[in-house]
Amino acid sequence: MLLFVEVKRGVDKDIEQRQEKRRNFHQASRGKMFGYCDNRSCIRNIRSEINYCLGNQSLVVSFTNLADLQAGKRCEGDSVWHKSRKRG
């Protein structure tokens, strides 16, 4: 199992650094990625960045967010993973 924790700060990395980070994690995790964001807007941004960076590579990405969890929102089977993308 591989666990990568990232905390976003008010400092932006350039696009090449972010894409390299996504590609490296994709390779290390064998295409299984989970994201924990503070809200749905963050999920949309991160999901778009990952999809753009990884193109058509095999990928399973699941997201959850703090705002929904605090509001008691859950998915099917009482799962916390609200958004999931599968390709490949």
Asked whether residue 40 is domain-assigned, the answer is yes
Domain count, the chain: 1
Q: Which domain holds residue 34?
A: 15-87
pLDDT at 78: 86
- Closest CA relative to residue 80, chosen from 30, 46, 32, 72: 72
pTM assigned to the model: 0.75
- Dihedrals phi, psi of 76, to nearest 5 degrees: -50, 135
Say which range, 39-43, 63-67, 80-84, has the weakest mean pLDDT: 80-84
Contact 43, 37 (CB under 8 A): yes
Asked whether residue 81 is domain-assigned, the answer is yes
Asked whether residue 8 is domain-assigned, the answer is no
pLDDT in tens, 17-56: 888 988 998 999 888 888 888 888 888 888 888 888 888 8
The Cα–Cα gap between 45 and 49 comes to: 6
